[in-house]
Chains A and B, each alone.
Chain A
Amino acid sequence: MTATPAAERRRLAHSLVLLLPAVLFGLLVSVQWRTQSERNELTVRYNTPLLDAAKTLQNEQNTLKIQLAELRAELDQIQTSAATQGGAAKDIQARIDQLKLVAGLSERSGDGVIITLDDARSASASKDIEKSICHNTDLTDIVNQAWRGGAEAIAVNDERIVGSSSIYCVGSTIMVNGTLMSPPFSVVVIGPQNELLATYDDPTQLRDIKQRRDVYGLGFRVSRASSLHVPPYRGALNVRYATPR
């Protein structure tokens, strides 16, 4: 039995139809495999010990911050009991307590707003990675805006923002008060709700973040919230070089 020329051509056409997807399939499999293997080659040699070191230091910092908080509480207790005797000690203690409240060393509760910031999770993110993810400068802009709106206390993922706080970025990891964190970020702001909402709604402010939200799907949302709570600053006070005049 020999095939007719027409059937032969049909068979050839079928094979050709399958050829193109097959080649593409092979290409994609190899690209996928290469993406995977390049990452491994680069990271395996140095990253394991470095990762271990970073994690150990972060854990050590957590323990140190607990010790620091305990010592601060102990000293507070000694001071407070001395202050009950009245006189100068009582007056100074009242000023210390007031300063701790405004400088971010005491916890605060109240109404305000919550701002959430997150990397884009949608397909439109693929257009431009840099514009689709959140950067430390987005957080500094959001915090700056909160102070402008009359904020009394701010915390970023439970790290209190104080006079010495920095929002630092290394690679793609963000550090606030020395604590490593990654998106999503929740910025809790205690303060006058209407003023805060108005400052975030102002179209002349945070234009870059709003534009990236609309075009690239960056996660950015501001909402009114009640009974918020921000923890006290847990880091070092670091007053070593500055002397009062």
Chain B
Amino acid sequence: MRSNAGVISVTVVALFLGVLAVTQIQAQDVYSRSLQLETPASLTTLIANLSERNNAIKDEILDLRHRTDNARDSIASGKGSLTEAERQLSQLRVFAGMNAVSGAGITVRVEGSFDERALSDLVNELRNAGAEAIAVNTIRVGPRTWFGATPDRALTVDSVPVRGPWQVRAVGSAEVMYVAMTRTGGIIGQFELIYKGTRFDVTRESALELPALATPLR
């Protein structure tokens, strides 16, 4: 009797222990993603990013209100809305990479070993920092651009080979993009740790000239 009771209690405790151990492993290892779990530092970066985006949208709303009023006035006065349409067309051509553009910005010069995924990440980072137009060497990056590599270690932009040293040029706010690239823990810092021996130089530019997309989008 006594020995049976012992076996039962041991079994119960062991079962309970098993359940608890599993719960503990799950609590630590199953990754639950929620804003609630972010650190204050991450949340602060998120807030800065959101607030920058919202300001850009607010600016565009103001601009569009003004343009809508102007277009309406021109039509009412019999002048038509050609000026507004031309302006819209010009803005869209820049946005879609169909026009050669000039403007201030930064150049990221990469000399040494590098790969297509890193190039894609660099372009992604520049876009996040507000780049309006980007080119790799002499090839313009467009809305549907993809990055690849050739067997002889050249990188490709829309299947056109581009050889190092690479110059990634971006038109936009030079200051914002420069800080985004070079900040502690930023993408250039990470590249320097991963691609040892590769040289990365970021410079602010007062006037860049980028070509249009070689093949217009259809």
Contact = CB atoms under 8 A, between A and B. Distances in A.
Given A78-B72, A133-B31, A148-B148, 7 more contacts: A17-B6, A35-B24, A93-B85, A126-B30, A140-B121, A236-B57, A242-B103
Interface residues of B, number: 101
A171 B42 contact: yes
Interface stretch (B8-16, B160-168, B191-199): B8-16
8 contacts: A71-B64, A103-B92, A103-B96, A147-B145, A170-B38, A172-B33, A241-B171, A242-B102
A74 B68 contact: yes
B33 A64 contact: no
Given A82-B81, A129-B29, A163 B142 contact: yes
Interface residues of A, number: 98
A5 interface: no
A121 B92 contact: no
B1 interface: no
A170 B68 contact: no
Interface of B: 3, 6, 9-10, 13-14, 16-17, 20-21, 23-25, 27-31, 33-47, 49-51, 53-54, 56-61, 64-65, 67-68, 71-72, 75, 80-82, 84-86, 88-105, 116-117, 120-121, 124-125, 127-128, 130-133, 142-148, 171-173, 209-210, 217-218
A14 B217 contact: no
A180 B53 CA distance: 12
Contacts of B28: 35, 126
B91 A237 contact: yes
Contacts of B38: 47, 170-173
Contacts of A221: none
Contacts of A103: 92, 95-96, 143, 217
